[in-house]
Structure formats: structure tokens, C-alpha cells
Structure 1
Amino acid sequence: MSDGFTEHYFHTQDDLRLYYRDYGDRRSPRPPLICLAGLTRNSKDFHDVALRYAETRRVIALDYRGRGRSAYDPDPENYQIPVYLTDVMHLLAVTHTHRAVFLGTSMGGIVAMAMTVAMPAALAGVILNDVGPEISETGRQRIAGYVGTEVRVSSFEQAAEMWRQNYSLAYPRLDRDGWLKLARATFTEDSVSGGIRLDYDLKLAVALREQSKSPLPDLWPLFRGLRNVPLLALRGALSDILTADTLVRMKREHAGMIAVTVPEVGHVPMLDEPEAVTAIDSFLESL
């Protein structure tokens, strides 16, 4: 065990080797918490969240294909939601998870919503972190504009300063330690050429840029599939992905949804904000 979790690998339907972290007590009667990261993110984002809940339940955090310690896909066209969804279903099978709470950040929330079609009985609850069935085009194009751009620096400290300069508007409350923590979750040491590089396959941009040329599919049917599932939706008050108007409509469509706006943070809340912690604590306790 390392830092409160064990490390595991499994093979997908196309024989790609994927990595996940496993925290907590597998024998807990509470439904496990499955953590699904954003587009370019990985399991490191959920370390503190996982430790917070590992005393009472199992927590599993996945590295999608092409991220973190999972293998990079030789066909970048596979970097899309239907493939990730199938990978998550394989993760549930290998971890013997029949029913779980899904915590999805950004793209991970879309994967969680897609579970309503693929495996609806597996959803004991869903937490959507700054994502909904409508994605602001401004934020969508912003993300498409930077994904796949190579960034190499000499140290995590340099990476932290670069990220602070680029994203301080989204995280005005973040201090020096916070930026360094974010950098360590975003970058990794390059064992081949040295230095520090982004911790994902830059070829993610291949599929993303093709997808960004077309309107997003209608995700409201997937969201409506959550109507009978306990649901918590978090929104960063400064988000350019999930608008306040979309959050209001989500509440109309799902009367039981708990909606919480996290102040002074953009896309995405890091889930250590007091408002987010309180909301997740209360939501999990209510299940």
C-alpha cells in the first residue's frame, strides 16, 4: 500500500492496460465511490477526496486511457466518451462493483450520465462536478484550444508558477502550496528525456478537435435518466463550462437534485473548498 491506496491494472476490451487506485475498506457495506476525472486529468486529482472517505467506504479512482499511468491508445480516435464508458464498465467488473456512487468531474460527469443508458442499476448516486447536459461553447472552445499543446518545464515549482499565471482567474483563492499541489497532479517526471511534462497523451487533441467542429450531441436525455437517482451538482461560481442558467434548468428537470455553487472558483472546483466538502459529506451521509 502506498499513501493510503493500492495500485492496480486491468486490461480493456481492446487489451489496453489501464491503472486505478483503490482506497478504503472493500468490505464496507456502503456503496463504493467511483471517481472519474476531467478530460486531461487523472486519479491524482482525487487523492485527498479519497482519503477523506476511505475510513467509511471503498474509493476507486481511474486513470482513463491516455492519462496518468494508464497506457496511451495507439489509435487516438478512441479518445471519446463511448470508449471511456466501456472502460468504466470493465473497471466495475474487475473490482466486483455492482452499485456505486459516481463522482464525475467535468468530462467524468458526462461519463457518469452515460451510465444511465449503459448500466442504470449501478448508480447508487451521482455527484457532478461543474458539468451538466449543456456545455458553454466559450469554455468548450477554450479547452479545445489548449489540449494537446506540449508543455515542458524543469521543475514542479516552475510548473506551478506557470499554472498560476495562466489560471489565477479561475482559482483566486489558491495559495502557493495549492498551485504546487495542482502542478503535481497535472504534470509528471519524464523518465526518458528528463524534466517535467504534462501527464496525458497529447494526441487527445486529435479526436477533440474533430469533435469541437460539430455541435455537441443532446445530453439532456442522459441527464433525465438520473431523475430517480440521488444527485448532487456542484458548480464553480466563475465557471465557463456550466452556466448558472443551465444549473437552474437541471434543478427543474430533477426536482430532487441538490445544487451547490462554490464561490470564487472557476472550472473546476478542486473539491477541497469548504462548500464542496460540506455538500459531499451531507450527500454521501444521506444515501
Structure 2
Amino acid sequence: MSAASRGQHDFFYTARDGLKLHARVYGTPSPGTWPAVCLPGLTRNARDFEALARILSTDEKRPRQVIAFDYRGRGQSSRDPNWENYAVPVEADDVAAGLTALDVEHAGFIGTSRGGLIVMALAAIRPALIKAAVLNDIGPVIEGAGLAHIRSYLENAPRPASMEEAVRLQRAVHGGAFSALTQEDWERHTRALYTIGANGRPIADFDPRLLKTLKLVDLSNPLPALWPQFEGLRSVPVLALRGENSKLLSRETLDEMERRHPALEALTVDGQGHAPLLETGDLPRRIGAFLTKAERAGRR
């Protein structure tokens, strides 16, 4: 069965600097609904949202178009000759360019980790784009210990000989924080991370030079807080998700986000760490219901 016959297609467009970029589009625009724009984490790609996108785009009562982006250097987007362009402001501009090319004037945004930072950046440069936001395990305060853990893993990540070994390694390394996941979840999550290289072995589907950006972060001092950027979302509904075992987003930061934002819903995802898989458990229903509620409130 082709991608088109499953109600999805690949969309390629050109960034401001000429780089060829990719997004995957599920479904078609539906009257009375906003598209859901999905933005992945640092080294992840559009495939992370495939299961969620299919659920949202084929909902019997309220189907919505879903657009999942590959940032530059990830997935099917071209790698940037200048690795310093792997930066949130550049990637936010790329997403805005992609939405312009797709004739999307506004949408609900779903941002996982770095994707949530990009949502906050868009709230500053293109506020009219954002009608609602789901922030998946990310907030204005990023815990240095959590970022150090991510950097250490990425810099020392094992190189599996097969996809089956890749699944076993992912579960061995991260299983303690993700007790809620099934074997099927681990397989789906891992296959989204890797592509198959010329030698038939799995390789992580991002430009390795992306890791140079992590070396620039001084983890000996607290990371700058992004409260002004977060408060750029005060005018829209926000659903903030936190993995129960997250090391990147603290419970204290989530509480402060609730205090500062008058229309924020907070949800802790049991048995998951950084970052929760959005297609698991009751999360698709909760996300769909949140977007529907925001749409109805916006019409009043």
C-alpha cells in the first residue's frame, strides 16, 4: 500500500537559505479544525509522529490534517554544510517557511522537547500561527542533569548490527524510565530513530555534526531560563505533558508553568521519562480532545 493510499504524502520545500527540507502530511484540511503541526526532539524526525498522526487524521468524528516536520539535518531533510545552523531560531524559521509553502495560516502545535522550544520561538516571531500548543516534556527551565544525560548517551551511543539489536539496546538503556512501554512500543520508537545504511546496518537518522551543538552548552552552570519565551504562549491554550520519570522537566517547573499560564492543562504521564511517546495509552485521545476544546473556545 502506497503512502498516498494511506492518506499521507511527503512534502518538500526550500528554506530561506536554499536548503531542501521535508515534512510529512497526513490527511487533508477539514472544515472547523486546525491542522496539527508536529515538531520532534533534537535528533528525532517526523516518523516519531506517524502513529499519532494516523489516529488524529482518521478520527471518525473530527479528522484533522497533521503535518510532521523533519528539521534540517534530520530524516529526509538535507544536511546543512554549516552545522552551526542546527539552532532553534533557524529551525523555527524553517518551520514557518514550510507552513507558508503549505498555505497554513494557523494551527495547533505539538512540540516534543526541542520541538517545544521551537513552538516558543514561533510564538515570538510568528504569533498568529499558533492557536494552541502541546508541550511534550519541555518547559522554560531545562534541567542540566537531564541535558547532560542526553549528551552523554548521544556521544556514546552504541552502533547496533541489526534493527533487532537496536531495539534491545534502546530498551536496555532507557527501559528503567519507560516501564509503561510494550515491546511493540519499543520497536516502533526505535525504527523511527534509525535508517538502514549502505552496509545494511541501522544508522541514526541525523547528521552526526548535530552533536557539536551540544558541546557548546556549558553544563557547569544553570541553563538560562526561558520564561519570557514561554509567556509568549499566554494568549493560547497549552497542554503541558511531563513524563513521570523525566530528568529534563522538573515537577517544580511544571507547577510554575501552571501558575503563570491561565489556560494551561498539566498532565503527568505515568511510567515514562523524557519524552513520553504520544501515541501510547490515552494520550492521542487527550491531545485530540484538547485541540477540539481549543477550537471551540476560539469560535466563541
**TM-score (norm. length: structure 2):** 0.91
Contact between 2:37 and 2:68, CA under 8 Å: does it hold in 1? yes
Identify the match of residue 285 of structure 1 among 272, 277, 292: 292
8 Å contact kept, 1:151–1:197: no
Q: Does 1:6 align with 2:6?
A: no
8 Å Cα contact 2:144-2:222 kept in structure 1: no
- Shifted more, 132-141 versus 152-161: the winner is 152-161
Within 2, Cα distance between the matches of 1:106 and 1:172? 20
Find out whether 1:252 has 2:259 as its counterpart.
yes
Which of 23, 28, 31 is matched with 2:26 structurally? Answer: 23
Q: Distance in 1 between matches of 2:256 and 2:120?
A: 16
Does 2:234 match 1:227?
Answer: yes
Q: Provide the rounded CA distance (Å) in 1 between the counterparts of 2:72 and 2:132.
A: 24
**Number of the residue aligned with 1:199:** 205
Preserved CA contact (<8 Å) 2:193 2:205: yes
Aligned to 1:63: 70
One-letter code of the match for 1:90? A
* 1: CA distance, partners of 2:152 / 2:269: 26
Read off the aligned partner of 1:33 and give its amino acid letter: A
Q: State the SS of the aligned residue for 2:53.
A: helix
Listed as ranges, the gaps of 5+ residues in structure 1 are: none
Does the aligned pair in 1 maintain the 2:143–2:223 contact within 8 Å?
no
How far 1:150 sits from its partner (Å)?
Answer: 5.8
The within-5 A match list for 1:238-249 is 238-249=245-256
Matched residue, 1:216: 223
Contact (CA 8 Å) 2:162, 2:201: kept in 1 or not? Answer: yes
Distance (Å, rounded) in 1 between the aligned partners of 2:153 and 2:183: 23
| Equivalent AA in structure 2 for residue 252 of structure 1 | R
Paired positions, count: 286
Residue aligning to 1:34: 37
Q: 2:186 aligns to what?
A: 179
RMSD in angstroms over aligned alpha carbons? 1.5
The alpha-carbon deviation at position 235 of structure 1 amounts to 0.6
Counterpart position of 2:47:
44
> Which amino acid is the alignment partner of residue 275 of structure 2?
V
| Match of residue 167, structure 1, among 157, 174, 187 | 174
Could you give the per-residue CA deviations for residues 1-37 of structure 1, whole angstroms, max 9, x where no partner exists? 5043101111111111111101111354311100000
Q: Give the 3-state SS of the residue equivalent to 2:135 in structure 1.
A: strand
130-139 vs 2-11, greater mean Cα deviation: 2-11
SS of match in other structure, 1:211 = coil
Whether the 8 Å CA contact 1:149–1:202 is kept in 2: the answer is: no
TM-score by length of 1: 0.95
2:85 and 2:96 map into 1 onto residues whose CA distance is 16
Per-residue CA deviations over 1:76-101 (Å, capped at 9, x if unaligned) read 11111111111011111111110000
What amino acid maps onto 2:13 in structure 1?
Answer: F
Deviation at 1:148, TM superposition (A): 4.6
Provide structure 2 residue ranges, at least 5 long, that are not aligned to the other structure.
Answer: 295-300
Partner amino acid, structure 2, of 1:195: R
Q: Label 1:150 to 1:72 Cα distance change in 2 as closer, same or farther (>3 A).
A: farther
Amino acid at match of 1:20: A
CA distance in 1, matches of 2:189, 2:129: 31
Structure 1 counterpart of 2:20, which letter? R
Range 277-286 or range 200-209, more displaced: 277-286
Distance in 2 (CA, whole Å) between partners of 1:140 and 1:150 is 15
Q: Conserved in 1, the CA contact under 8 Å of 2:55 and 2:284? A: no
2:244 alignment partner, one of 237, 244, 249: 237
Report % sequence identity.
38
For residues 146 and 130 of structure 1, what CA distance do their matches in structure 2 show? Answer: 18
Give distance in 1, aligned partners of 2:291 and 2:117: 20
Tell me, yes or no, if structure 1 residue 117 matches structure 2 residue 124.
yes
Question: Quick one: distance in 1 between partners of 2:268 and 2:87?
Answer: 28
CA contact (8 A) 2:141 2:224 kept: no
The answer on whether the counterparts of 2:134 and 2:239 sit within 8 Å (CA) in structure 1 is yes
